[in-house]
Amino acid sequence: MKIRRVKRFGLRARLALVAVAALGCAGCEFDAEEFRSATSAPLQSGLTTITTGLLDGAFALYEPDPDSGDDASNATASE
* Residue 6 belongs to some domain of the structure: yes
* Residue 13 belongs to some domain of the structure: yes
- pLDDT at position 26: 58
d(CA 58, CA 69): 19
Sign of CA dihedral 71, 77, 78, 79: positive
- pLDDT at position 36: 84
Q: Provide the residue-wise pLDDT of the chain in tens; the chain has 79 residues.
A: 577 777 788 888 888 887 777 666 655 666 778 878 888 899 999 999 999 999 998 888 888 767 766 555 555 555 4
Report pTM.
0.42
- pLDDT at position 50: 94
The amino acid at residue 34 is: E
* Residue 17 belongs to some domain of the structure: yes
Instruction: Determine which helix (DSSP H) or strand (DSSP E) holds 27, and give its type and residue range.
Output: none
Of 55, 53, 51, residue with least CA distance to 63: 55
* Residue 33 belongs to some domain of the structure: no
* Residue 34 belongs to some domain of the structure: no
d(CA 64, CA 57): 10
* Residue 9 belongs to some domain of the structure: yes
- pLDDT at position 25: 62
Q: Structural domain of residue 51, as residue ranges?
A: 2-28+39-78
Number of compact structural domains in the chain: 1
